[in-house]
Amino acid sequence: MNELLRTAIDELRVRPLRTGLTLAGFAVSMAIATVLLAAGGGLERTVADVLRSLGEGQIVATPGRTTGVGGVQRSGREVRIRFKDVEAIRTALPSFEGVAAYFDLRGAGASSARYSIPWSPVRAVSAEYADVRRLPIVEGRWFTQAEAERGEWVTVLNQGLRRMIFRDDEAVDDWVEWRGRRMKVVGVVKDEALFPYILFVPYRTVSQNMADARWISGIVARPGADFDWERGERELRRALAGIGDFDPTDENAVEFETNEEFTQKVRRATLAFRILVLTIASVSLLLGGLGVAHMMVIGVGERTREIGLRQALGATSRHIFTQILVEALVIALLGGAIGLGAGLLACRLASPIAISAEQTIDLAMDPAGIISAFLALALAAVTAAVIPARRAARLTPAEALRWE
């Protein structure tokens, strides 16, 4: 094998211009494929992050009014659910991963020591709210169960509010003021599903000191994995109907919001983009392989007399066939390594790509992607070299030595 490799390198060095052009073609193909695969993977990660921040896989239930006389909702009774009944609702939904209540309080601005915003709502939540909504924590932490039960003056900001009232200053362990009350900032979450500037405060803190929060504004529930969404809504509606004393078939009594349909559409679009990226990357590698095939065909034609001489001196058809394949593989791996390096450098220089004020795409390939690209590259090179290699191996010594 060492002899084959050494001979292949010597043959490539004899024709530096052709070898250089073929290497450049394969390197460009690999660089394009690398950037495309990195962009596709980065987009998938960004979409997954956005869907998590939007509350992927959750059901939001908001109490409304029962259907009144003549089917008119306004004439019906207001549905009210107490915060202390949430535990009973959670018990009635054993197939759900989690249930958390919230209470919205509006009508005031938020400020830090240096900056302020004129209007920012407070959402009173329990300690398990972050787990149910799977809010990504980007700074600090979420408030603890003990802090929630004691009704401590702590808060978690979303990124939008943190950016407005703290700018480049540190936010965690500083204070924020809302309606004249100061709260310690313990964390920051990435939350784009709600109002862009919002404070999360322990439910008991709000109910004891800021507002009458006996009646919740809504519930966030997360069905179990692979759970049927329609069944999940029915079970949640029945549980709320038992607490709120309304007909579970009354669709006006509770408004349900899910983003499952939106999530599926986004996933399908992302999959389509991924397939497009893989297709373009494959075509790019295929073109590089065709370049190798073209070079090997020309090279075999030029070396026909040499091949005949080798056969006359004892080289077998298998040896000639393997020799041509090794040359193609050397070109592919060397060009692929150069292209991979250039592609990764381009990704590093271009990353991250901002697609919104909050979201960016990081162009980065994982090790599995790099290995897959190299395997595809080697396969393309070997496949492209098979025809010229077979042609060379089938030449007889007499035919090859007569070649002009």
pLDDT digits (tens, 9 = 90+) for 44-97: 777 666 655 555 567 888 888 888 655 555 567 888 899 999 888 888 888 888
For the cut 50, the answer to whether the pLDDT of residue 203 exceeds it is yes
How far is the C-alpha of 217 from the C-alpha of 95, rounded, in Å? 23
Q: What is the pLDDT of residues 338-380, one digit of tens each?
A: 887 887 787 777 767 665 555 666 766 667 766 776 677 667 6
pLDDT score for 157: 95
Length of the chain: 404
How far is the C-alpha of 353 from the C-alpha of 46, rounded, in Å? 11
Q: What is the pLDDT of residues 313-335, one digit of tens each?
A: 666 667 667 777 777 777 777 77
In the predicted model, what is the mean pLDDT of residues 98-105?
Answer: 92
How far is the C-alpha of 193 from the C-alpha of 99, rounded, in Å? 18
pTM: 0.57
Written as six digits, the tokens of 371 are 């290995």
Confidence of residue 16 (pLDDT cuts 50, 70, 90): low
In the predicted model, what is the mean pLDDT of residues 262-279?
Answer: 71
Confidence of residue 139 (pLDDT cuts 50, 70, 90): very high
Q: What is the pLDDT of residues 167-181, one digit of tens each?
A: 989 999 999 999 889
3-state SS string for the chain: CHHHHHHHHHHHHHCHHHHHHHHHHHHHHHHHHHHHHHHHHHHHHHHHHHHHHCCCCCEEEEECECCCHHHCCCCCCECCCEHHHHHHHHHCCCCEEEEEEEEEECCCCEECCCCEECCCCEEEECCCHHHHHCCCEEEECCCCHHHHHHCCCEEEEEHHHHHHHHCCCCCCCCEEEECCEEEEEEEEECCCCCCCCCEEEEHHHHHHHCCCCCECCEEEEEECCCCCHHHHHHHHHHHHHHHHCCCCCCCCCEEEEECHHHHHHHHHHHHHHHHHHHHHHHHHHHHHHHHHHHHHHHHHHHCHHHHHHHHHCCCCHHHHHHHHHHHHHHHHHHHHHHHHHHHHHHHHHHCCEECCCCCEECCCCCHHHHHHHHHHHHHHHHHHHHHHHHHHHHCCHHHHHCCC
Lowest mean per-residue pLDDT among 121-125, 213-217, 285-289: 285-289
In the predicted model, what is the mean pLDDT of residues 269-296?
Answer: 71
Q: How far is CA 73 from CA 63, 64, 257, in A?
A: 12, 9, 18
pLDDT score for 313: 61
pLDDT score for 311: 59
Q: What is the pLDDT of residues 291-314, one digit of tens each?
A: 666 666 666 655 655 666 665 666
Name residue 159's amino acid: Q
For the cut 50, the answer to whether the pLDDT of residue 392 exceeds it is yes
For the cut 70, the answer to whether the pLDDT of residue 141 exceeds it is yes
Identify the burial level of 156 via C-beta atoms within 10 angstroms of its C-beta, where 0-12 means exposed, 13-18 middle and 19 or more buried.
buried
CB of 198 closer than 8 Å to CB of 120 = yes
Q: Name the average pLDDT for the chain.
A: 77
CB of 220 closer than 8 Å to CB of 89 = no
Q: Which residues contact 1 (CB under 8 A, 6 or more apart)?
A: none
Confidence of residue 404 (pLDDT cuts 50, 70, 90): very low
Cis peptide before 352 (omega within 30 of 0): yes
For 349, other C-beta atoms within 10 Å of its C-beta total 8
Lowest mean per-residue pLDDT among 34-38, 68-72, 111-115, 328-332: 68-72
Position with higher pLDDT, 299 vs 105: 105
Name residue 376's amino acid: A
Name residue 351's amino acid: S
235: β partners: none
Intra-chain end-to-end CA distance of the chain, in Å: 31
pLDDT score for 403: 47
- Select, from the ranges 162-166, 223-227, 255-259, 370-374, the one with the highest average predicted confidence (pLDDT): 162-166
For the cut 60, the answer to whether the pLDDT of residue 257 exceeds it is yes
In the predicted model, what is the mean pLDDT of residues 243-264?
Answer: 77
How far is the C-alpha of 112 from the C-alpha of 174, rounded, in Å? 8
